[in-house]
Amino acid sequence: MLKSLKIKRTPKAPNSFGDRTTSDVVVRLRTHEGRDNWFYCHSEILIEKSKYFAERLSDDWPTCQILDSRYCVEVYCEELEFDFHVIAFRLLYVTEPQTRYGVRNTLGIFQVAVRLGCHQLANDCIDYLESVPWEEAEEEEMLRIIPHLGSQYVEILARLQPVNPISVVGVFISTIRFATSSPSTSLRDLKSSAQDQLEYVLTEDDDAPLLTLDNEDIKIEVKNCVRDLLSRFNHHIESLLNASQDVVSEMTMVCDMHSFLSDISWVCQILTKMEMMKHLVHYWLEASSNIIKVTEKLNQDDDMPETRLKVIEVTSKVLDAVGFGHVIVPTAMRLSLVNVWLPFVQRTRPLLEQANSESEGGSSLQIDSEIWQGLESSFISILLTLPSASQAEILAEWLRSEHARYPDLTEAFEAWCYRSKIAKRRLALLDGISNGTSSQVPP
């Protein structure tokens, strides 16, 4: 009985890009600048992977030519797109997506894939672009190119689309709570970042603020967070007032005080943008005496002036809000504000200047000159709103002070002298007007 002879067939080797021996198609890639390269390809792969080549190699395409027993298909491109086309031709021959080209090159390949109708290659590019992070310059490139490729590809830009306002409010509320909290030391860098980002999204620059600042939900949340922060700060102040000097001098107490003041200084910036400084200003006015007492207690030897610096930063923002009418407070509170903080500022500036001069290699305690100028302007502005008798007392004390150099209240002094000198004449004129008006009133 004869047995059938089994013939072992050798599997057909896969076609390779550029293999001239097996190629039946030449892709002629040309640029308008005169570049002209030939690539040996295979119609089986081109037809399967590209709609463009399938049409060009079909029987219905009239200009299909024979070249050296091969079909020839011409593709024109810009010079900057040349390499992307070559890579795209090569990728038609691979079975697994390639991820080694990076965002910019993948975007270039993607444009070629869309143009040539290479749907699988285009999908592979989409999957890659959606899966990797982009740098800012790459984001700009995406925004420039993707919308022109067709509305079906806009989903690639999902990470760059405007966010739902409800989601923005949710993120803001979570962030403001964290930014005004007292987390562990390990989270302070994260807290600082949260504060920076909140300030950024509320800033009006080339773009409008991310949030609508008159949103009532946001205002209520900000009020609650500020109230909680000031409550914790006040508790810390009271504990320091009642503690012994040894306890007060502990580094943790000093660091906590510094952290609270940094948070309050930052909160002032947020409240100013939202026109909500009133609550903080009233608290600072009421707590001023205790804050100064604790600051002096923490810096008895004046060898740790950092706390004084932070107190000055917050006070400058409070004085600015009152001095320029952003927050309205009664005359008695304005008078108290000047009487309490003017001497403290006069004592503090020389201490900070001395610390800077004695510091080796420069100091980190320098206050921006704008803060000193702002403090001076605010003191003058508030002083000029007080009754003339109160102004006289403050100016006389200022002229007697060894720290009369700063703040320079000359402007307020000159205004007081002028007002005082012409006061009788002004009032006499008013009395004359008043009497003239009264004489015209019928009995």
Give burial (CB, 10 Å; 0-12/13-18/19+) of 95: exposed
Dihedral angle sign, alpha carbons of residues 178, 182, 187, 190: positive
Q: What is the pTM of this model?
A: 0.76
pLDDT cut 90: percent of the chain above it: 61
SS3 letters across 401-416:
CCCCCCCCCHHHHHHH
Which tens digits make up the pLDDT trace of 32-68? Answer: 889 999 999 999 999 999 999 999 888 777 655 555 5
69-73, 254-258, 385-389: segment of lowest average pLDDT: 69-73
Q: Is the pLDDT of residue 191 over 60?
A: yes
Helices vs strands, H then E, count in the chain:
17, 4
For residue 331, give every residue at least 6 positions away whose Cβ sits within 8 Å of its Cβ, in sequence order, or none: 385, 386, 387
What is the structure's pLDDT at 303?
53
Q: Residue 168 to residues 171, 212, 218, 271: CA-CA distances in angstroms? A: 5, 10, 11, 18
For the chain, the C-alpha Rg in angstroms (whole number) is 38
pLDDT (mean) for 203-230: 89
Mean pLDDT of the chain: 87
Q: Could you report the per-residue pLDDT of 94-133, keeping only the tens digit for each?
A: 988 777 889 999 999 999 999 999 999 999 999 999 999 9
Q: What CA–CA distance (Å, rounded) separates 10 from 49? A: 26
> Phi/psi at 71 (nearest 5 deg)?
-75, 150
Query: Which whole number is the average pLDDT over 319-333?
Result: 95
Euclidean distance between CA atoms 115 and 51, whole angstroms: 9
Is a pLDDT exceeding 60 seen at residue 6?
no
Range in 123-132, 314-323, 430-439 with the lowest mean pLDDT = 430-439
DSSP secondary structure of 383-401: HTTS-HHHHHHHHHHHHHS
Per DSSP, 442 falls in state -
- Judge whether residue 86 has pLDDT over 90: yes
